[in-house]
C-alpha cells in the first residue's frame, strides 16, 4: 500500500507511537534517578558521577547522526527503519538492567568505570532503537497535519512512558517499606528488571503496526556511507537555514530540561522536604497526566495557527512560569507544585510541535537536494538532545559542589537549600526563555511550508510521470 494513497489508519499511528513508551520510561529513569542513585546510594562522588554520565552522553550524541545516516541507507525486506527496532529493544533492556544493578565495591575508580561502561551500553542501544524509530514517523506520511498527529501519538506514548518510569520505582519502594538507601537501591534494581517487558513489547508492536507504511528508497553504490560523505551530509543538515535556528533553540532549551530532570529529586527532597513517594504521586504523576491531556489541544491549535508561534508560546510560557514559582514554594506543601504541574504540563505539550517541525524541515531539504534524509535529520536532532543533556548533568554536578551540597547528610545548609531553589527555578527557566527567543528566528512559516510541499509534490509527480 502506498503511504500517499490515503490517510494513515489509527492503528498505524498509535502502533508507531507505542515504542516511545519503553524508550521514554528508560530515559526518565536515567534523567531523574541515575545521578542521585550513583551519587547518594552507590556512593560515587558527584564530580565522578557527572563526568561518567557526560562522557557517555557525548558518545551517544556522536552516534545518533551516524545511526540516522545508516538507517537512511539500509535496505532490507523489513524496511530501512523498522529493521532496527527489535534488536535495539532487546539490547536496551539488557543494558538498562546492568546499569541499575552495580556490584557492591568500595573503589571509586571501579564505580566510575562501571557506570561509564554500562551507560555507554545503554546509550548505544538507545541510539539503535530511538533514531530509526523517530525518523520512521517522517517516512510514514507527507501530509503536514497528519505528521503532527503521528508525532502526537509518539508524544502520547512517550508521556505514558514518563508516567511508568516515574511511578514504577515509587510503587516498588512503597511496597518495600521504609524509605532508606537499601530499599531505594532495591527499588531501582527491580524497576530495571520489570521494564524489560514494556521495552521489548512496545517495540514489537511498533514493528508490526507500521508494516507497509514506511517509504523505501534504494541507494546506489556510490552513495554508501563513508566518513567524508557523512560529515559533509551532517554539515549540510546543520546549516540548513530553516533547521539551524530550530536546532540551536532546541539545544538551549534542552540544557534547561536536562538540568531540571537532574536536579528535581534534590529540589523536592532537600528544598521542599518531601519524600520521594509523595513527589511522584502528587507532583510528577499529575504533571505528566496534564501533558497527555494537552496533546489534542496543541494538535488542534497547530491546524489553525501553524506550528511556529504556538510552540514559542508553550516553551516561553514554561520558562516564565518556572522562574517565578519554584524558588518561592514553602517546604512541606504540595499545593504550589501541583498548580505548577498543571500549568507546566499544559505548556509542555507544545513540545510535540518541535518534532513535527523537524519532519517539515526534511521537505525543504528534499526539494533542494533530491534526497530523502529523515534519519540524518533526526539523528542530528537527537545529537542536540544528548549534548544538551551532557551539559545539563555537568552543570548540575558542579553546581551541587558550588552550593555545598553534602551527599552524606539529610539536613542541608541554608546556602544549599537556597541554591537548589535558584537552580530549579530561574536557572532552568532562563534556558527555556532564551531557547524560545532564539526559536523566533526560525523562518519556516506555515505558508512557506505549504509552498514547499506543493513544489515538492510537483517534483515527485514529474519524476513518476
pLDDT digit string (tens) for 346-357? 998 887 787 778
**Residue 200, C-beta contacts closer than 8 angstroms, at least 6 positions apart:** 22, 86, 89, 90, 93
Asked whether the predicted pLDDT for residue 47 surpasses 90, the reply is no
Domain definitions of the chain by residue range = 10-216+233-459
DSSP string, 184-238: HHHHHHHHHHHTHHHHHHHHHHHHHHTTT-S------GGG---HHHHHHHHHHHH
**With bands split at pLDDT 50, 70 and 90, how would you rate the model's confidence at 313?**
very high
pLDDT digit string (tens) for 428-437? 999 999 999 9
As a whole number, the mean pLDDT across the chain is 84
Asked whether the predicted pLDDT for residue 218 surpasses 60, the reply is no
Q: 283 and 337 in contact (C-beta within 8 Å)? A: yes
Q: How far apart are CA 429 and CA 404, in angstroms?
A: 22
Give residue 225's pLDDT.
56
pTM of the model: 0.70
Give residue 37's pLDDT.
87
pLDDT digit string (tens) for 247-280? 899 889 888 888 887 788 889 988 999 887 788 7
Compute the 3-state secondary structure of the chain and give helix, strand, coil in percent, each to the nearest 5.
80, 0, 20
- Which residue pairs, CB below 8 angstroms and at least 24 apart, start in 214-221? 214/3, 214/79, 214/80, 214/81, 214/82, 214/136, 214/139, 214/140, 215/3, 215/139, 215/140, 215/372, 216/79, 216/80, 217/72, 217/80, 217/372, 218/75, 219/72, 219/73, 219/75
Continuous segment of H or E residues that includes residue 134: helix 108-139
**Residue 343, C-beta contacts closer than 8 angstroms, at least 6 positions apart:** 317, 321
Ranges 14-23, 314-323, 371-380: which has the least confidence: 371-380
Across 51-60, 124-133, 214-223, 236-245, the highest mean pLDDT is recorded for 124-133
Average pLDDT over residues 403-409: 78
- The class of domain 10-216+233-459 in CATH terms is mainly alpha
User: How many other C-beta atoms are found inside a 10 Å radius of the C-beta of residue 180?
Assistant: 11
Asked whether the predicted pLDDT for residue 80 surpasses 80, the reply is yes
Assigned C-alpha cell, 26:
528508560
Across 15-29, 49-63, 271-285, 450-464, the highest mean pLDDT is recorded for 15-29
Give residue 464's pLDDT.
64
E strands present in 30-122: none
Asked whether the predicted pLDDT for residue 4 surpasses 50, the reply is no
Across 130-139, 256-265, 415-424, the highest mean pLDDT is recorded for 415-424
Amino acid at each position: 500500500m502506498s503511504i500517499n494513497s490515503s490517510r494513515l489508519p489509527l492503528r498505524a499511528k498509535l502502533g508507531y507511537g507505542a515504542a516511545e513508551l519503553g524508550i521514554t520510561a528508560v530515559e526518565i529513569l536515567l534523567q531523574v534517578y541515575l545521578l542521585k542513585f550513583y551519587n547518594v546510594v552507590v556512593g560515587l562522588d558527584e564530580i565522578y558521577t557527572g563526568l561518567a554520565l557526560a562522557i557517555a552522553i557525548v558518545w551517544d550524541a556522536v552516534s545518533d547522526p551516524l545511526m540516522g545516516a545508516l538507517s537512511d541507507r539500509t535496505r532490507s525486506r523489513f524496511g530501512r527503519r523498522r529493521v532496527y527496532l527489535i534488536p535495539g529493544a532487546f539490547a536496551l533492556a539488557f543494558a538498562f538492567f546492568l546499569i541499575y544493578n552495580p556490584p557492591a565495591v568500595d573503589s571509586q575508580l571501579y564505580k566510575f568505570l562501571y557506570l561509564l561502561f554500562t551507560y555507554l551500553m545503554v546509550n548505544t542501544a538507545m541510539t539503535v532503537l530511538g533514531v530509526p524509530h523517530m525518523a520512521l514517523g517522517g517516512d510514514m506520511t507527507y501530509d503536514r497535519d497528519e505528521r503532527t498527529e503521528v508525532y502526537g501519538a509518539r508524544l502520547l506514548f512517550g508521556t505514558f512512558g514518563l508516567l511508568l518510569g516515574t511511578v514504577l520505582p515509587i510503587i516498588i519502594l512503597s511496597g518495600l517499606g521504609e524509605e532508606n538507601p537499601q530499599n531505594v537501591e532495591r527499588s531501582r534494581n527491580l524497576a530495571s528488571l520489570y521494564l524489560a517487558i514494556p521495552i521489548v513489547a512496545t517495540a514489537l508492536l511498533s514493528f508490526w503496526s507500521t508494516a507497509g507504511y514506511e517509504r523505501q528508497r534504494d541507494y546506489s553504490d556510490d552513495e554508501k556511507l563513508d566518513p567524508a560523505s557523512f560529515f559533509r551530509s551532517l554539515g549540510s543538515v546543520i546549516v540548513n537555514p530553516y533547521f539551524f535556528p530550530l536546532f540551536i533553540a532546541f539545544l538551549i532549551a534542552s540544557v534547561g530540561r536536562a538540568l531540571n530532570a537532574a536536579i528535581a529529586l534534590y529540589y523536592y527532597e532537600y528544598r521542599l522536604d518531601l519524600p520521594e513517594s509523595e513527589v511522584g504521586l502528587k507532583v510528577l504523576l499529575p504533571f505528566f497526566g496534564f501533558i497527555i491531556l494537552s496533546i489534542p489541544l496543541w494538535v488542534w491549535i497547530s491546524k489553525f495557527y501553524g506550528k511556529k508561534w504556538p510552540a514559542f508560546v508553550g516553551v516561553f510560557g514554561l520558562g516564565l512560569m518556572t522562574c517565578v514559582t519554584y524558588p518561592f514554594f514553602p517546604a512541606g506543601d504540595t499545593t504550589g507544585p501541583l498548580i505548577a504541574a498543571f500549568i507546566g504540563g499544559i505548556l509542555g505539550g507544545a513540545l510535540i510541535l518541535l518534532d513535527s517541525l523537524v519532519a517539515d524541515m526534511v521537505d525543504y531539504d528534499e526539494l533542494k537536494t533530491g534526497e530523502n534524509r529523515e534519519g540524518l535529520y533526526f539523528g542530528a536532532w537527537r545529537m542536540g538532545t544528548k549534548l544538551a543533556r551532557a551539559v545539563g548533568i555537568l552543570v548540575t554536578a558542579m553546581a551541587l559542589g558550588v552550593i555545598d551540597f553534602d551527599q552524606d547528610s539529610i539536613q542541608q545548609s541554608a546556602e544549599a537549600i537556597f541554591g537548589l531553589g535558584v537552580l530549579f527555578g530561574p536557572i532552568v527557566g532562563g534556558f527555556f526563555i532564551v531557547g524560545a527567543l532564539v526559536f523566533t528566528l526560525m523562518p519556516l512559516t506555515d505558508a512557506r511550508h505549504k509552498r514547499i510541499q506543493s513544489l515538492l509534490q510537483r517534483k515527485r509527480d514529474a519524476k513518476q510521470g
